[in-house]
Amino acid sequence: QVQLVESGGGLVQPGGSLRLSCAASGSMLSMAAMGWHRQAPGKQRELVATISSGGTTIYADSVKGRFTISRDNAKNTVYLQMDNLKPDDTAVYYCRVSVFKEYWGEGTLVTVSS
């Protein structure tokens, strides 16, 4: 019922920036909590950042001060601005939307390497 389309991943050098986007389609999305998780090979999926329907944000300590999550309810889109990227940020980034149930995007790969 809810479809998520992620974009913005790619290859970037350490210290560089990327902006991820996740466009959602469905109903009641303005009421949804939205966020980003990531998973690197051999590691568990972890929370990166979330934003509530009211705009309250939560960040993982590892990205605090470098990443910014935002949402545009008119476009049903959540963004993740990633600055000062580090090699440890390399992972597949997944969009998550929670409204009545959880929905996950297919993921977009971010590679931080020289």
Q: What is the DSSP string of 63-75?
A: TTTTEEEEEETTT
Average pLDDT rounded to a whole number, residues 12-37: 94
pLDDT at 27 (0 to 100)? 81
The 10s digit of each residue's pLDDT in 66-113 is 999 999 999 999 999 999 999 999 999 999 999 989 999 999 999 999
1 pLDDT higher than 90: no
What distance in Å separates the CA atoms of residue 84 and residue 12, rounded to the nearest whole number?
10
Question: What is the residue-averaged pLDDT of the chain?
Answer: 96
What distance in Å separates the CA atoms of residue 62 and residue 72, rounded to the nearest whole number?
25
Residue 69 · residue 77 · CB < 8 Å: no
Alpha helices in the chain (DSSP H): none
What distance in Å separates the CA atoms of residue 102 and residue 111, rounded to the nearest whole number?
26
